[in-house]
A and B are shown apart, each in its own frame.
Chain A
Amino acid sequence: MTPLERIQEHFSTQIIEVHAFRGDETAVIRPSSLRPMAKFLKETPELDFNFLMDLTAVDHLFYAGGRVQKEFRFEVVYHFFSLKFNHRIRLKVLVDEKSPEVDTLVDFWPAANWYEREVWDMFGIRFKGHPNLKRMLMYEEFKGHALRKDYPFNKRQPLIGPKDV
């Protein structure tokens, strides 16, 4: 039984879509089912996803390809990995434009701390319950969120002076 089949069995009603394009098992879910599912992935002995390998987001504004859920602008993408079973899974959480917010996973995987800060910095998606949601790569005075598709890649912003500690 693959990890995807296992979570499909357990969360059959909450999964919107699944696919395994090129062998990457993926489940698309809503923000409300993220935390229960993350808990399930981490604590089920047969899954044992002890690594949060990567966390990022995708902005689908102006996206030309077909998608099932067009009303959701963002996807927060989680890549989990299990050291024991050597398997991976990808979770995609659909987030709408009006209130881009997802629950934090810092208490399950401390690795989520910086990744979530980076997603907030680059996409403006908030993480509810995050202990320290500051910008990661850009400075606090930076306006906008650079990896959103409506942020022009050649836009310039004024430099700021040195800061006090």
Chain B
Amino acid sequence: MLLNVGPSHPAMHGVIRLIMELDGEKIKGVDVEIGYLHRAFEKMCETVMYAQCFPYTDRLNYVSPLINNVGFALTVEKLLGIDIPDRAKYIRVIMSEISRVTDHLTCVGASAMEMGAMSAFLYMIKAREFLYELVEEITGARLTISYVRIGGVKADLTEGFVDKAFKKIADVRKVLIETDELLTRNRIFFDRMKDTGKISAQDAIAYGITGPFLRSTGVSYDVRRAQPYLIYDRLDFEVPVGSKGDNLDRYFVRMAEMEQSLRIIEQCLAQIPDGQVSADLTGCVIAANQMVDSAKMGRTEELIEDEVTLDPTLQGSTRKYYEGINANKKDVVLPAKEDTYGNIEGLMNHFKLVMYGHGIRPPMGEVYFPVEGANGELGFYIVSDGRDLPWRVRVHPPCFAIMAALPKCLIGGMMADLIPTFGSVNMIAGELDR
């Protein structure tokens, strides 16, 4: 019997169509059809300047957008050959790991919900909310964040962030223990996950699978460990691996990885170079619109001479913070807003970077840079012809390889195993179809 599942099916998060050949309840063949969420990411990136690609990268893996931002920024920085300040590296790692936890929480929670464990899902979404609050505080957004910039990040950590983050991490840990108790020894969950959706390590490697999916088969490959980027080589964390490559192992690997990510965040918060973020600033807060107005009227003296605190909604921190989190490169990084509004050099610098036909111009060449995304190796391949628009932007989406191997996991199993297997794959249509 042929059975069509999707593209829009209540038991599947994300639009994808599976055409299954069934014999009774046994799956004999699967044809995976993707592309329902194709938004021409790669084509659109060729039409905009490098810095304008960030909003598009947010929409790749929309459960952990910060990792996409970081990956793209690191690739362009490799192309430009620049280094960024340590503080910015720490901030990027903190944000990446927060995103990794939110991604795993969503994956585990959603697959538990599809197997009827509604309360576990709600607990995990609650924990995700704690982390989203942290993200919101720093970036001002929750989903489509566009926080990372080429050469740094948009804004520094807010005052009191470190204490708040420690508190939230403790809260998330509590939830993880709670859900672990709810799920791991739950007969229904355990039996449905165990020995379903199996894949061998050889097959996983042959299909180019990376991330938790590969690690569940016992292969210890993590980009953060194998080719450390940012400051991952200074951090102490483990790479959890499974042994059998079934759904249960993938669940265990994800749960263990969340704990490791929380450890990484704690270490970063403890190690982060004590930048100016805790310094006591004297000076009045100037709202964005007031600043623009006074600059338009030519009242720029106070902006040059005095230390002002900016409205947090204005992109970029106060000049004093700004240097700690951005590379000191005038041809890449936007000037601080006091300079843009306060003096002619800053204004020119600003427009040289944002106007069409100007912008960041990397040298001619091509680079590939992999980072560890929540689902596996997320790599960007950028070809530059020396102009302000990228000639070619290619993203290597981790779940593409996994979806190609999905028939391997499903064939021979039962129809009902589709749900836990598909859940543990953590397919994100935005990144799969681009």
Q: Which residues of A contact B (CB under 8 A)?
A: 21-22, 24, 26, 50-54, 56, 58-59, 63-66, 77, 79, 83, 86, 88, 90, 109-111, 113-115, 122, 135-139, 146-147, 153, 165
Chain B min CB distance to A3 (Å): 15
- Bound together, the chains give a CA A138 to CA B35 distance in angstroms of 6
Q: CB of B401 within 8 A of chain A?
A: yes
Q: Decide if A146 touches B208 in the complex (CB within 8 Å).
A: no
Q: What chain A residues lie within 8 Å of B403 (beta carbons)?
A: 114
Q: Return A68 CB to nearest CB of chain B, in Å.
A: 13
In chain B, residues 419-434, which have Cβ atoms closer than 8 Å to a Cβ of chain A?
Answer: 433-434
- The reply to whether A63 and B391 contact each other, CB–CB distance below 8 Å, is yes
A147 vs B393: C-alpha distance in the bound complex, in angstroms? 11
If A22-B365, A51-B205, A110-B206 touch, does A64 touch B385 (CB 8 Å cutoff)?
yes
The distance from the CB of A47 to the nearest CB of chain B, in whole angstroms, is 15
Q: CB < 8 Å: which of B81, B226, B392 contacts A86?
A: B226
Known pairs A22-B365, A114-B404, A146-B40; A64 contacts B227 (CB<8 A): no
Interface members, chain B 383-434 (any A CB < 8 Å): 383-387, 391-392, 394, 396, 400-401, 403-405, 433-434
Question: Which B residues fall within an 8 A CB radius of A?
Answer: 2, 4, 19, 34-35, 38, 40, 42-44, 46-47, 78-79, 81, 203, 205-208, 219, 221, 226-227, 364-368, 370, 377, 379, 381, 383-387, 391-392, 394, 396, 400-401, 403-405, 433-434
CA distance A153 to B48 in the complex (A): 11
Distance of A79 Cα from B35 Cα, bound (Å): 23
* Residue in chain A with minimal CB distance to B17: A165
Residues of A within 8 A of B226 (CB): 86
Complex Cα–Cα for A63 and B40 (A): 21
Q: Tell me, rounded to whole Å, the shortest Cβ–Cβ distance linking B117 to chain A.
A: 32
Q: Main secondary structure on chain B at its contact with chain A?
A: mixed
- B396 with A165: CB separation less than 8 A: no
User: For A111, what are the chain B residues with a Cβ–Cβ distance below 8 Å?
Assistant: 206-208, 401, 404
Interface pairs (17), CB distance under 8 Å: A21-B366, A22-B79, A22-B367, A24-B366, A24-B367, A53-B377, A54-B381, A56-B381, A64-B387, A79-B381, A88-B368, A137-B34, A137-B434, A139-B35, A146-B40, A146-B43, A165-B4
**Chain A residues with CB under 8 A of B364:** 65-66
Shortest A82–chain B CB gap in Å is 11
Cross-chain contact of B385 among A24, A65, A147 (Cβ < 8 A) = A65
B392 proximity list for chain A (CB < 8 A): 58-59
